[in-house]
């Protein structure tokens, strides 16, 4: 994909996350190269040249910026935070306080800032959600409220009940009336993404800078009568594996189960989206004809826009009748990248 120098410079000034992975800016006066969202002081336009990969910038003699770390995926946790995430994922019943973090040679204020920036909640809230998620699964498996409370790291049944009611909206004894929607965050070449899943399958996959993300999260909570808690499940693990393979060019079809609530019309449109061949595109008019509603072009476009599972349900493969790109929640530049990626892999596999 070709992006003009003016567009890239403007994105650099705005620190636009929608351009993550699409270009790298190299500063001639300092000899370093940065990702588009770098918070370092911005250079003059004439002092910047652009590359499509970090490797290209390195080949031209530039060094990676220490501020934005362009050699790692955008949003990747630093090593010490990564070790902390692994630790609490393995033992979600643990309750790590500031003293415990310092014992692990972690500065509590830095941990708080990272979780607030990348997850939108405090570290303590993140831990509490993991414990509630663990307890909910134990309740579903037939464990008593008391057993679920203590085995999930809560010091008392009353404290557990209060936390459960606060996050889920019902007391633990009424757990069967609520669906747990597990959410996780991971990085991709196009920037960080949030993914949600129920026990049935994936119900959301969106870029973290998607403007409609909060609306979509409210929508799936309402449609699934659910509560969203951080954690992981087998569907989210499968999704991350398949996405890595997709971006590496070794996967052209997703097998992960989906749980995508919607109207019958929306489901029909989304099903058709998944039938668009990898490396190919449909027009909105072509979509409407294929579902037997040739005059419903606008309705089809709206249904595409209400797709909450990006990439897996490939709404990026739908373009205008004249071949131009049209709306995409993740931004047109990401849409073009995905189309170019799939076409290049298709050509390579012929």
pLDDT digits (tens, 9 = 90+) for 94-104: 888 899 899 98
Q: Which pLDDT band holds residue 175 (cuts at 50, 70, 90)? A: confident
pTM, two decimal places: 0.78
Closest CA to 26 of 72, 1, 59, 75: 59
Mean pLDDT across 217-231: 89
Q: Hey, where are the domains in the chain?
A: 5-64, 74-156, 261-348
Neighbour tally for 309: CB within 10 Å? 26
What pLDDT score does 186 carry? 87
pLDDT the model gives residue 279: 92
The more confidently predicted of residues 51 and 72 is 51
Average pLDDT for the chain: 88
Helix (H) or strand (E) holding 51: strand 48-51
220 Cβ contact partners less than 8 Å away, ≥ 6 residues apart: 181, 196, 203, 204, 226, 228, 261, 308
Annotation: CATH topology of 5-64: DNA Methylphosphotriester Repair Domain (3.40.10)
- Residue 198 confidence (pLDDT) above 90: yes
Give the active site residue among 38, 196, 203, 315. Answer: 315
Instruction: Give domain 261-348's CATH number out of 3.30.300.30, 1.10.10.10, 3.40.50.720, 1.20.1510.10.
Output: 1.10.10.10
Q: Would you state the pLDDT for residue 159?
A: 83
CB 200 within 8 A of CB 224: no
Predicted confidence band at 202 (pLDDT cuts at 50, 70, 90)?
Answer: very high
How far from 159 is each of 15, 129, 139, 147, 163, CA to CA, in Å? Answer: 42, 14, 16, 13, 6
CB 58 within 8 A of CB 68: no
Radius of gyration over every alpha carbon of the chain, rounded to an integer in angstroms: 22
The mean pLDDT value for 159-167 works out to 83
**Is there a catalytic annotation at residue 315?**
yes
* Phi, psi angle pair for 85, to nearest 5°: -60, -40
The answer to whether domain 5-64 and domain 261-348 are alike in fold is no
The pLDDT > 90 percentage for the chain reads 35
pLDDT at 123 over 80: yes
User: Are the CB atoms for 183 and 194 separated by under 8 Å?
Assistant: yes
Distance in angstroms (rounded) separating the CA atoms of residues 127 and 202 = 22
CA dihedral sign of residues 160, 166, 167, 172: positive
CA–CA distance, 347 with 350 (Å, rounded to integer): 5
Q: What is the pLDDT of residue 312?
A: 97
Q: What pLDDT is stored for residue 9 in this prediction?
A: 93
pLDDT of residue 1: 55
Provide, rounded to the nearest whole percent, the portion of the chain with pLDDT above 70: 99
- In the structure encoding, which two tokens stand for residue 91, read together? 């033992």
Alpha carbons 33 and 51: distance in angstroms, whole number: 9
Question: Is a pLDDT exceeding 70 seen at residue 49?
Answer: yes
Strand blocks (E) in 99-253: 179-186, 193-197, 202-207, 226-230
Tokens representing 264? 């019958």
């Amino acid at each position: 994909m070709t992006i003009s120098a003016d567009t890239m410079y403007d994105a650099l000034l705005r620190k636009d996350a929608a351009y993550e992975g699409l270009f790298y800016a190299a500063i001639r006066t300092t000899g370093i190269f940065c990702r588009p969202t770098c918070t370092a002081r911005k250079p003059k336009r004439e002092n910047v040249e652009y590359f499509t990969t970090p490797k290209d910038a390195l080949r031209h003699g530039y060094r990676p910026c220490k501020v934005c770390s362009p050699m790692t995926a955008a949003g990747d946790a630093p090593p010490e935070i990564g070790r902390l995430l692994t630790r609490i994922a393995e033992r979600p019943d643990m309750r790590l306080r500031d003293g415990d973090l310092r014992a692990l040679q972690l500065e509590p204020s830095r941990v708080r800032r990272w979780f607030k920036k990348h997850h939108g909640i405090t570290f303590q809230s993140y831990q509490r959600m993991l414990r509630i998620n663990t307890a909910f699964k134990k309740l579903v498996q037939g464990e008593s409220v008391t057993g679920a409370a203590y085995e999930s790291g809560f010091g008392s049944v009353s404290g557990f009940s209060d936390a459960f009611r606060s996050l889920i909206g019902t007391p633990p004894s009424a757990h069967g009336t609520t669906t747990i929607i597990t959410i996780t965050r991971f990085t991709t070449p196009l920037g960080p993404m949030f993914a949600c899943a129920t026990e049935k399958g994936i119900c959301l996959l969106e870029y973290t800078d998607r403007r409609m993300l909060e609306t979509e999260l409210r929508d799936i909570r309402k449609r699934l009568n659910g509560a969203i808690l951080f954690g992981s499940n087998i569907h989210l693990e499968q999704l991350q594996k398949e996405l890595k393979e997709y971006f590496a060019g070794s996967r052209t079809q997703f097998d992960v189960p989906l749980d995508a609530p919607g109207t019958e019309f929306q489901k029909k449109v989304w099903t058709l989206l998944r039938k668009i061949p990898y490396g190919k595109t449909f027009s909105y008019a072509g979509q409407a004809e294929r579902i037997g509603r040739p005059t419903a072009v606008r309705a089809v476009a709206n249904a595409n826009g209400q797709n909450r599972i990006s990439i897996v349900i490939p709404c990026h493969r739908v373009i205008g009748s004249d071949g131009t790109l049209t709306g995409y929640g993740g931004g047109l530049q990401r849409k073009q990248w995905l189309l170019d990626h799939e076409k290049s892999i298709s050509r390579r596999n012929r």
